[in-house]
Each structure stands twice: as structure tokens, then as C-alpha cells.
Structure 1
Amino acid sequence: MSPRTKEQNEAIREMRMNQIMQAAAEVYLEKGIQLEIRDVAVKAELGYGTVYHYYKNKHMLLEDLLWDALYRTESAVLPALTEDGGSLHKAESFSRLLLRMCIQDPSVFILLKTVADNFHHFPGNRFIKLSDNFQQRIYLPFVELIREGIGSKSPEKTANLIFGSLVGCTALNIHHNMQSEMDVEGIVDMIFSGIQAKER
């Protein structure tokens, strides 16, 4: 049997890390910050030593999970920022894409919830850079759409209300095992019709 090539090793490494991060997201939804590397190993059906080889502690693992979620979130909402149409249309489209991503990808939901909680479960200042990147790449572009599209007197407050609504709807869906598919269109329409009525 010939030794693996560098490319094969890299492919295996990438597959293992994705497997570990997917398991970590599932465990985080069950246990929150109380998750341990052992829990992740069990969920991923990998040996504890294998997971520990990639991540020496849960904070390193969660940090990678959240950065990866940030990149995926940015890719998911990019079409809304670049499509044709007015700012209000783009803000609604952005919200739909974000809600769909939260439902499909637990790590994106965890990112939004963690940002909403201001990273208060995490020790030290290791998440300041992540928070700053989220602000620049996700939050502030959305605030600008709200400012232009709705003419909101306080677009940050409106953006926070929308993000909070999306996180809350996703949490209900995840933690209450709702069997029916979430009505993304209806939820976003309801949020925006209420906001527009209030701003008039």
C-alpha cells in the first residue's frame, strides 16, 4: 500500500474538521457552552484523541466554528447586497437568506445568537476580532439597507429587532422540534410589514 499524497492528507484533514465542526454545532445546541471535546468526539463518532489532535480545547473549536459560520453567512447574504432593486427589497431578501441559512446550518444560528449575547459565555477577549468582522461584513451593510430602505430614525435599533426576531424564530424551530417547515417568506413579510407600519 503506497503512502498517501499531500493532497489526500489535506482532503482527509478537511473532511475530519468539517465532521468535527458539524458535531460541535449539534452538541452546542444541546449543551451550550458546557460542551466538552469528549461530547463532540462521541457525536462525530471519532476517537477523543482524533478530535483533540485538531482542537486542544473547546474554545479553539468554537472559535473555528464561528469564523467558518461567518464566512458562510457572508456568502449566503451576498446575493441580497448585489441584486437589483431598492434597499427595502434588498433588506427583505437579506433577511430571508439569513433566516434560511440559520435553519439549514446550526453554526450560523449559533453565530447570530452568540453575537446577540455579545459573546458573554466566552472567556477573555479572543472573540473581539470575530465580533468586529461580523459588524463590518454582516451587520453594518444590513443597517445601511434599513437606513436607506425604510428611512428608519434609528436603523441600528431596527436591524437589532430584525436580527433578534430571526434568531428567536430559529430557536423556536430548533428547540421545540417543530415538524412543519418554517414559513420563511411569511415570517419576513410579517416582520417588515410591522416595522414599516411603525416607522410611518
Structure 2
Amino acid sequence: MAPRSSEQNEKIRSNRIEEILNATIEVYLEKGVRATEIGDIAKKAGVARSLVYYYYKDKMELFRDLFTKYIQAAETYIKASLTSEEGTLVKLKKYVRFYLETTQKNPRFMKFYRQMEQDIGYVFEGVSDDVLKSYTLNTRQPLIQLFEQGIQEGTLKESNVRLMVHVYWGALTYSIDMFANGEFTEQEAQQQVDTVIDLIFKGIQNDK
């Protein structure tokens, strides 16, 4: 048998890490970061405990890698979706729709994001202030800028920008929690997405 190429080895490595990270999400949602052990993750991933240690020296390094991956994914999506060439209202409504529809299809994924935000300080101990500051800046600042633009162009009501963003974000996150907790059936979900969008924008949209 011919030896594997470097590309094949890298693909195997990448697949193994992805399996471990996916298993970590599952265990994390069940037990939380403090109670999760490497053995739990290995069992969930269906791999040897030693293999997890081959890639990660300890649990906290694994969680830092996991959180970093999803922090970067969130920042990339938010930047792309809120700085596109579409109109302000279109972008803001699509933003709400994306998160609610994603939650309906994959509630555990959104539960992970919600829980991750609470545990960033613990996982990144020592540099948590910098990580939180960067994450907040990269996920909230595009929203603030978009609201400022909407007020300037007259599509959003004249108001305190940061207050409007908090109202918008608060309504969205509480709605995400309702969807993630399975409070709506699949048949009800689409109608409820439209209802949330309607309720949010009745409060902030300038109809003059």
C-alpha cells in the first residue's frame, strides 16, 4: 500500500478535528464547560481518548479552539450580511429571518451560540476581556452603523441609536430562545418568523 500523501493526511486530520469539535458541542450543551471531560468528548466522538489528547493538550485548549472557530464564523457572517449593497431595512429584516429560521432548523446550534457567549470569560481566562471586547465590537458595531445609516436616510425612526439596537437585539435574542426551546411547531414556525419581523419593525421603521 502506497503511503498517504500530505494532502490525504491533512484531510484525515481535518476530519478528525471536526468530529471532535462536533462532539464537544454535544457534550457541552449537555454538561456545560466545567463538567465536560475529555473522556466524555472522546466517547461522544467515537474515538480513543488518546486521540483527543493528540490534537489538544487539555480540555481548555479544545474549548478555546471551538469557541474561536464559531466566534470567527459569526463575525464573518455578520460583517458580510450587514455591509452588503442591499437597503438598510432589507438587511435588518433578513438578519432576523436568518437567525430565526436557522434556530428552527438547528436549535442546538443556536443554543450553543447563546451558551458560548456566557462562557467566553471562563474559557479565555486571562485574555477574556480582549476576546469579549473584540467579539462585541465585531458583532454589534455593524448593527450600530446600520441603524445610524437607517436613521440618516429616514428609513428608521429618529431615536437613540444604541437604545434602538438593544431593543432590536433583545427582541431577536428572546425570540431565538423561544424557537430554540421548541415553542412552535414546524408548521407554525414560518408564520411566527413573519410575526416577529412585523412586531420588531413596527417599532423602529419610519413610515412617514
State the TM-score, normalized to the length of structure 1. 0.77
- Counterpart Cα distance in 2 of 1:37 and 1:133: 28
Asked whether the equivalents of residues 103 and 180 of structure 2 are also in contact (C-alpha less than 8 Å), the reply is: no
Q: How does 1:22-37 map to 2 (within 5 A)?
A: 22-33=22-33, 34-37=35-38
- Counterpart Cα distance in 1 of 2:158 and 2:67: 30
- Residue 111 of structure 1 aligns with which residue? 113
- Counterpart Cα distance in 2 of 1:126 and 1:44: 29
Residue 69 (structure 1) shift = 1.1
Residue 18 (structure 1) shift = 1.1
2:77 is aligned with 1:71: no
Instruction: Name the CA shift for 1:122/1:9 in 2 (closer, same or farther; >3 Å).
Output: same
Structure 2 alignment gaps of length 5 or more:
151-155
2:180 is aligned with 1:171: no
Asked whether the equivalents of residues 20 and 42 of structure 2 are also in contact (C-alpha less than 8 Å), the reply is: yes
Q: How does 1:4-43 map to 2 (within 5 A)?
A: 4-33=4-33, 34-43=35-44
**Alignment coverage as a number of residue pairs:** 196
Residues 113-156 of structure 1: CA deviation (Å, up to 9, x unaligned): 433x3734446233334323322322100122223333463433
Instruction: Name the CA shift for 1:141/1:187 in 2 (closer, same or farther; >3 Å).
Output: same
Structure 1 alignment gaps of length 5 or more:
none
- Residue 153 of structure 2 aligns with which residue? none
State the TM-score, normalized to the length of structure 2. 0.75
- Counterpart Cα distance in 2 of 1:186 and 1:122: 37
Give the fraction of aligned pairs with identical amino acids, expressed as a percent.
27
Residues 24-52 of structure 1: CA deviation (Å, up to 9, x unaligned): 11222111222222221111111111112
- Residue 51 of structure 1 aligns with which residue? 52
2:196 is aligned with 1:187: yes
- Counterpart Cα distance in 2 of 1:107 and 1:125: 27
- Give the letter for the 1:51 counterpart: V
Secondary structure in 1 aligned to 2:186?
coil
2:146 is aligned with 1:145: yes
- Counterpart Cα distance in 2 of 1:141 and 1:189: 22
- Counterpart Cα distance in 2 of 1:5 and 1:177: 49
Asked whether the equivalents of residues 17 and 55 of structure 2 are also in contact (C-alpha less than 8 Å), the reply is: yes
Q: How does 1:120-135 map to 2 (within 5 A)?
A: 120-122=121-123, 124-135=125-136
Asked whether the equivalents of residues 99 and 176 of structure 2 are also in contact (C-alpha less than 8 Å), the reply is: no
Residue 54 (structure 1) shift = 1.5
Task: Select between 40-49 and 171-180 the one with higher mean Cα deviation.
Answer: 171-180
- Give the letter for the 2:83 counterpart: L
- Give the letter for the 2:7 counterpart: E
- Residue 161 of structure 2 aligns with which residue? 155
- Counterpart Cα distance in 2 of 1:118 and 1:69: 13
- Counterpart Cα distance in 1 of 2:10 and 2:83: 33
Task: Mark the structure with the bigger radius of gyration.
Answer: 2
Secondary structure in 1 aligned to 2:47?
coil
Residues 59-96 of structure 1: CA deviation (Å, up to 9, x unaligned): 222221122112322343313420321x2332222232
